[in-house]
């Protein structure tokens, strides 16, 4: 059965989608069967993977809330996204299964991409899911049910979470075996970890006692700024004493934005850059790592180790 990994952080713009795309691509390159699930109404993973979210008839939304909401529009066939460069041409746009049966199963939603992994896409409609799920039975377990039939078909399934701690993220944390937490090397991202730890701690206690942590992944590390270096030190030093903090950090590089624009992973777009090397290395570690149980006091109290500010004063934590 494939490992189901939620890439999660309620802080926006810390590199969740970038991490999913590039780890999924690196593992696919190594011959693994990989599925990536876009759980964000922004649809960034879907766009990066070469699809135009607004033109998709079926998305993860329909899998989560049920068949009543599937609307076919056959006059508007799905086509590749064009982002100025028009480089997204080789993504396979036919659904792997076009079964119009009552149920919308995950296999009805899976698309092949030219980045090496399969994708369950998303679009803005997923924003309605919070509202629609609220009155549903077992609303935190909709994703568990959706993923169950496809778990044996993949070695790795990544869940790209939205930047919020709502029902979609809770569904991801309940469905996941493991979590991976990208954190950009800046102070507010560091502080935002506390809120995440509290939620994950509660989910572990109340909904998914088996949930494990692969690690914290420092992203957007900028060697040129003292601030970035200080936060990296906190991550490897203070936090690293209690939790796995993955090596190497992912450095800041414009190659990631360029790769997204061309609809390629950084592994394909700039294979010889430090960014590609970092994600390849983390992907290799994923295969052999032993995710830790969430039993430390950090997850119970949602407390970060005490951090020092730039002036050397203690920052309340």
Which residues of this protein are in contact with ligand ATP, per CB under 6 A? 12-18, 40, 42, 44, 163, 219-220, 250, 252-253, 256-257, 260, 275
Q: How far is the CB of 261 from ligand ATP (least distance, A)?
A: 9
C-alpha distance from residue 84 to each of 161, 258, 261 (Å):
27, 12, 8
Q: Tell me which residue of 145, 167, 181 sits closest to 41, measured CA to CA.
A: 167
Cβ within 8 Å of residue 42, ≥6 positions away: 124, 162
Neighbours of 98 (CB within 10 A): 10
C-alpha distance from residue 259 to each of 242, 269, 313 (Å):
34, 6, 40
Residue 124 or 138 with smaller CB distance to Mg ion: 124
Q: Given the structure tokens 């068949």, which residue do they identify?
A: 67
Instruction: Write the DSSP assignment of 6-40 as a string of letters.
Output: EE--SSTTSSHHHHHHHHHHHHHHTT--EEEEEE-
Tokens of 173: 């944390």
Q: How far apart are CA 179 and CA 181, in angstroms?
A: 6
193 contacts 183 by C-beta, under 8 angstroms: yes
> Which of 16, 32, 252, 280 forms a contact with Mg ion (CB under 5 A)?
16
Q: How far is the CB of 18 from Mg ion (least distance, A)?
A: 8
Cβ within 8 Å of residue 60, ≥6 positions away: 37, 38, 39, 109, 120, 121, 122, 126, 146
Q: Tell me which residue of 289, 273, 270, 268 sits closest to 24, measured CA to CA.
A: 268
Q: Kindly write out the interface string for residues 22-51 of this chain, putting x where it contacts Mg ion by CB under 5 A and - elsewhere.
A: ----------------------x-------
Q: How far is the CB of 134 from Mg ion (least distance, A)?
A: 23
Which letter does DSSP use for residue 296 in this model?
A: S
Q: Tell me which of Mg ion, ligand ATP, none is bound by residue 121, counting a contact when its beta carbon lies within the kind-specific cut-off of 5 to 8 angstroms.
A: none
Q: Tell me which of ligand ATP, Mg ion, none is bound by residue 220, counting a contact when its beta carbon lies within the kind-specific cut-off of 5 to 8 angstroms.
A: ligand ATP
Q: How far is the CB of 93 from ligand ATP (least distance, A)?
A: 23
Site for Mg ion in 87-116 (CB under 5 A): none
Q: Given the structure tokens 């890439």, which residue do they identify?
A: 7
Residue 2 or 182 with smaller CB distance to Mg ion: 182
Q: Given the structure tokens 């033109």, which residue do they identify?
A: 55
Q: Tell me which of Mg ion, ligand ATP, none is bound by residue 265, counting a contact when its beta carbon lies within the kind-specific cut-off of 5 to 8 angstroms.
A: none
> Which of 9, 10, 17, 122 forms a contact with Mg ion (CB under 5 A)?
17
Strand partners, 34: 156
Residue 50 or 240 with smaller CB distance to Mg ion: 50
Q: How far is the CB of 18 from ligand ATP (least distance, A)?
A: 3
Q: Given the structure tokens 């149920």, which residue do they identify?
A: 103
Q: How far is the CB of 2 from Mg ion (least distance, A)?
A: 21
Residue 114 or 253 with smaller CB distance to ligand ATP: 253
Residue 114 or 169 with smaller CB distance to Mg ion: 169
Q: How far is the CB of 15 from ligand ATP (least distance, A)?
A: 4
Q: How far is the CB of 102 from ligand ATP (least distance, A)?
A: 32
Residue 45 or 213 with smaller CB distance to ligand ATP: 45
Residue 40 or 177 with smaller CB distance to ligand ATP: 40
Residue 44 or 113 with smaller CB distance to Mg ion: 44
**Which residues are near Mg ion by CB under 5 A?**
16-17, 44
């Amino acid at each position: 059965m494939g490992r189901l990994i939620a890439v999660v952080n309620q802080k926006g713009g810390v590199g969740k989608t970038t991490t999913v795309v590039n780890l999924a691509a690196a593992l696919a390159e190594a011959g693994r069967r990989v599925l990536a699930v876009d759980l964000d109404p922004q649809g960034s993973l879907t766009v990066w993977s070469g699809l135009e979210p607004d033109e998709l008839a079926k998305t993860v939304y329909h899998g989560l809330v049920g068949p009543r909401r599937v609307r076919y529009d056959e006059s508007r066939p799905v086509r590749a996204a064009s982002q100025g460069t028009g480089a997204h041409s080789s993504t396979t746009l036919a659904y792997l299964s076009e079964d119009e049966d009552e149920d919308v199963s995950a296999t009805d939603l899976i698309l092949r991409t030219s980045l090496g992994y399969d994708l369950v896409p998303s679009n803005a409609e997923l924003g309605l899911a919070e509202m629609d799920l609220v009155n549903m039975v077992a609303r935190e377990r909709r994703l568990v049910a959706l993923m169950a039939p496809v778990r044996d078909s993949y070695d790795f399934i990544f869940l790209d979470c939205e930047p919020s701690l709502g029902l979609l993220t809770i569904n991801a944390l309940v469905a996941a075996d493991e979590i991976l937490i990208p954190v950009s090397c800046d102070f507010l991202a560091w502080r935002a970890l506390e809120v995440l730890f509290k939620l994950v701690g509660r989910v572990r206690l109340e909904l998914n006692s088996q949930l494990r942590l692969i690690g914290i992944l420092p992203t957007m590390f900028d060697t040129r700024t003292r601030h970035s270096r200080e936060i990296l030190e906190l991550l490897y030093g203070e936090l690293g004493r209690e939790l796995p903090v993955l090596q190497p950090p992912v450095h800041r590089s414009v190659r990631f934005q360029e790769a997204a624009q061309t609809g390629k992973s950084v592994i394909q777009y700039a294979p010889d850059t430090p960014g590609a090397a970092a994600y390849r290395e983390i992907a290799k570690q994923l295969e052999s790592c032993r995710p830790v149980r969430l039993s430390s006091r950090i997850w119970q109290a949602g407390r970060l180790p005490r951090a020092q500010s730039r002036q050397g004063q203690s920052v309340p934590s």
